C-alpha cells in the first residue's frame, strides 16, 4: 500500500528546542517537498529536494533545515531560530519533474507543531 507517512501527528516544542518532523514515502518518487500552512494562508514552500543528497531552499527556509540521505526519507528540523513555528506542516512527493515542471505532488497527512 504505497503512500506518504508523516510522524508524529502532533508535536510540542519548548522554547529554544530543535524538533524534527519525519516524512517517509514508498512511492519511489524522486522529488520531495516540505510546506508550511498557517490559518488563512495557502501552503508555503520551505525546502525541496529533487535527488538524494541535494536540496534547495524554498520561499521560507529561514529557521529550518533538512537532509536527504535516502530516497524515501526527507526529515525537516525546526530549529530554535524559527521564532514562530506553530503551524501545520505538510510533506509531499512527486516523480522527477521535467524542466518545465508540472508533475503532480502527492501529500502526506501532516504534522501539527505547537509551541509550549
Partner 1 sequence: AQTVTQSQPEMSVQEAETVTLSCTYDTSESDYYLFWYKQPPSRQMILVIRQEAYKQQNATENRFSVNFQKAAKSFSLKISDSQLGDAAMYFCAKSSGDKLTFGTGTRLAVRP
Residues that bind partner 1 (CB under 8 A): 31, 40-45, 48, 50, 58, 88, 90, 92, 97, 99-110
CB of 46 to partner 1, least distance (A): 11
Give least dist CB 37 to partner 1, A: 8
Nearer to partner 1, 84 or 104 (CB): 104
Nearer residue to partner 1 within complex by CB, 73 or 106:
106
User: In the bound complex, what is the minimum distance in angstroms from residue 59's beta carbon to partner 1?
Assistant: 8
Provide CB contacts within 8 A for 96, sequence distance 6+. Answer: 30, 31, 50, 51, 103
Positive or negative, the CA dihedral 8, 37, 48, 57 is negative
Write down the least CB distance from residue 16 to partner 1, Å. 28
Least Cα distance to 68 among 60, 78, 77, 79 occurs for 77
- Within 8 A by CB and 6+ apart from 55, the residues are 47, 48, 49, 66, 67, 68, 74
Q: Which is nearer to partner 1, 50 or 67 (CB)?
A: 50
Closest CB to partner 1 among 71 and 80?
71
Yes or no: say if 34 and 91 are a contact pair by the CB < 8 Å rule. yes
Amino acid at each position: 500500500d504505497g503512500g506518504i507517512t508523516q510522524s508524529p501527528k502532533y508535536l510540542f516544542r519548548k522554547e529554544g528546542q530543535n524538533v524534527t518532523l519525519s516524512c517517509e514515502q514508498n512511492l519511489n518518487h524522486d522529488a520531495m517537498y516540505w510546506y508550511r500552512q498557517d490559518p488563512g494562508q495557502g501552503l508555503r514552500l520551505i525546502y525541496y529536494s529533487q535527488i538524494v543528497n541535494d536540496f534547495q531552499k524554498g520561499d521560507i527556509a529561514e529557521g529550518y533545515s533538512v537532509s536527504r540521505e535516502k530516497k524515501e526519507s526527507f526529515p525537516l528540523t525546526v530549529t530554535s531560530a524559527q521564532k514562530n513555528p506553530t503551524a501545520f506542516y505538510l510533506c509531499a512527493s512527486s516523480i522527477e519533474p521535467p524542466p518545465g515542471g508540472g508533475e503532480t505532488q502527492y501529500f502526506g497527512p501532516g504534522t501539527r507543531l505547537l509551541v509550549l
